Amino acid sequence: MVRAPNEVDRVERALVSAIVGGAYPSGLRLPAETELAAQHGCGRSTVREALGRLSTRGLVASRRGSGAHVLDWRREGTPALLPAYLASGVSPEDAPRLFAELLHLRSLLAREATRLAARYAPDASLAGARDALTSLRASDDPVAIALAELRFFRALVTASGVWPAVWLANSFWSPMHEVNALLAPAAGGPPPGHAAALEKLLDLIEAGKEKAALAHLEKLLSRVDKVLKNRLFVPSTGRPSKAKRKV
| pLDDT (tens digit per residue) in 158-214 | 999 999 999 999 998 888 998 988 889 988 889 999 999 999 999 999 999 999 999
- A 10 A CB-CB count for 111 gives 16
Phi and psi torsions of 233, nearest 5°: -135, 145
pLDDT given at position 240: 46
* Separation of CA 215 from chain center: 25
Phi and psi torsions of 68, nearest 5°: -100, 135
pLDDT given at position 242: 44
| pLDDT (tens digit per residue) in 201-239 | 999 999 999 999 999 999 999 999 999 888 887 444 444
- The amino acid present at 230, given as its one-letter code, is N
Three-state DSSP class for residue 238: coil
- The amino acid present at 62, given as its one-letter code, is S
> What is the rounded distance in angstroms from the CA atom of residue 187 to the CA atom of residue 245?
11
User: What string of DSSP letters covers 144-190?
Assistant: HHHHHHHHHHHHHHHHHT-HHHHHHHHHHHHHHHHHHHHHHHHH-SP
- A 10 A CB-CB count for 57 gives 17
- % residues pLDDT > 90 (the chain): 63
pLDDT given at position 1: 43
Q: Find, among 50, 52, 37, the residue nearest to 9 by Cα.
A: 50
Mind listing the domains of the chain with CATH numbers?
A: 7-78 (1.10.10.10), 90-245 (1.20.120.530)
Q: Which pTM value belongs to this model? A: 0.81
Q: Find, among 246, 214, 241, the residue nearest to 117 by Cα.
A: 214
Q: Interhelix angle for 194-206 vs 127-138, to 10°?
A: 170
Burial, 22: exposed, middle or buried (Cβ in 10 Å; 0-12, 13-18, 19+)?
exposed
Hey, CA dihedral for 199, 200, 205, 206, is it positive or negative? positive
> What is the rounded distance in angstroms from the CA atom of residue 65 to the CA atom of residue 166?
41
Kindly tell me if the per-residue pLDDT of 241 is higher than 70: no
Q: Mean pLDDT, to the nearest integer, of 55-73? A: 87
Q: Mean pLDDT, to the nearest integer, of 12-41? A: 94
> What is the rounded distance in angstroms from the CA atom of residue 65 to the CA atom of residue 190?
53
Longest dimension (CA), the chain: 62
pLDDT given at position 4: 47
